[in-house]
A = this chain, B = another copy of it.
Amino acid sequence: MVPIRNGRHVFNEIASGYPIPGQTTVYDGSQTVDLENVPLDGGVLVKVLCLSIDPYLRFMMRDPEIEKHFHLYTLGEPVQSAGVGVVLRSENPSYAQGDHLHSEMLPHQEYFVAPKNTSFTLLKNEAKIPWSVFTGVAGLTAYAGWKQFAKPKKGSTVFVTTAAGPVGATVVQLAKAEGLKVIASAGSDAKVEFTKSIGADVAFNYKEQDTREVLAREGPVDVYWDHVGGDIFDAVLENASFGATVIICGSIAGYNGAPNPVHRHALIFERDITIYGFRMTTISPAYREAFYKEIPEAIASGKIKYREDVTEGLENAPQVMLDVQLGRNEGKSIIKLASE
């Protein structure tokens, strides 16, 4: 068979501020692959169908001196993120041709051979929903973090930032399903409308309304799902109830430049506040099975609303990486490489 193009989205340069399309990461369409003859050595040839672009990917682009312990992308190699692929050929008895696989570290490459010991999550899709829903980092992050840490009391008030984003929107809906009052902030009027449509009791555009004022009026906040850090974190501490819970699963205010400081640290002990920081990779394995059992079906039936912002073609990935950092995406950001 004639070799065909094997496009790659490659990490090219350590980021200092926002990732610059074509500089921090670049699309490289120069490589080819012979799908019939590429040697597998006991591994699996995977065709990548869709990739998830999430804010936290920015971490893996940074100077290793800043944070040595966090996984970093390798210069000159494909970026990695959560995604779904389909098996074209296999020498691994665990995976058969046609199987759909999920990984949180799929290479941004149209086709790749996974070495023989690579482990994937085998996807079933009984609800017949789009495979992109299974990229799942965001939903699973929200689900696992909420189940593990929120433990809200009846009648609690929950505040969710970036509430129109894929993690935030899931948290809003999980909280509403438990009958709680949800305050949601987002960065555009369209996003605010979306958070209302999924059930937020109070929704506001934080660029136009002062978060402190809204929380003073609608709070105090019993559970805060934090994506932003910085001054908003202070605003929440100032309007937190005694015994409040804060769940931190991102801090986008500090990803792309000088981190925003938190000044009201003393309120953490003055108000008996507990703060749980977590990376998705730490707690999600324990919740993966429950999540896949419950959530795709809830999405298929419309019980949980879910929005995607799909961009076709890996050549657009460098731009999407920046768009997600700037909050330009409306819904879960997906790069679609192929339908099947």
- Measuring CB to CB, which residues of chain A are less than 8 angstroms from any residue of chain B? 59, 67, 69-70, 229-230, 233, 242-243, 248-251, 254-255, 259-279, 282
Contacts and interface: CB of A to CB of B under 8 A. Distances in A.
A6 to B, nearest CB: 33
A260 B265 CA distance: 8
Nearest to A220: B69
Majority SS of interface residues in chain A? loop
30 contacts: A67-B267, A69-B270, A70-B270, A229-B265, A229-B266, A233-B265, A242-B282, A248-B268, A248-B269, A251-B266, A251-B269, A254-B265, A254-B266, A259-B265, A259-B266, A260-B265, A261-B261, A261-B262, A261-B265, A262-B262, A267-B277, A268-B277, A269-B277, A270-B277, A270-B279, A271-B277, A272-B277, A274-B274, A275-B275, A275-B277
Nearest to A252: B266
A325 to B, nearest CB: 14
A278 B272 contact: yes
B265 A273 contact: no
Nearest to A280: B269
Contacts of A229: 265-266
A233 B269 CA distance: 14
A267 B69 CA distance: 11
Contacts of A254: 265-266
A309 to B, nearest CB: 24
Contacts of A248: 265, 268-269
A260 B263 CA distance: 6
Contacts of A265: 229-230, 233, 248, 251, 254, 259-262
Contact of A277 (B67, B274, B282): B274
Contacts of A269: 248-251, 277-279
Contact of A272 (B250, B259, B282): B282
A269 B259 CA distance: 14
Contacts of A255: 266
B279 A272 contact: yes
A339 B282 CA distance: 56
3 closest A-B pairs by CB:
A261-B261, A268-B277, A269-B277
Contacts of A59: 270
Contacts of A268: 248, 251, 275, 277
Given A248-B269, A259-B265, 4 more contacts: A248-B268, A255-B266, A269-B279, A272-B278
Nearest to A275: B275
A275 B254 CA distance: 19
A129 B70 CA distance: 52
Which of A243, A261, A268 has the largest number of chain B CB atoms within 10 A? A268
Contacts of A233: 265
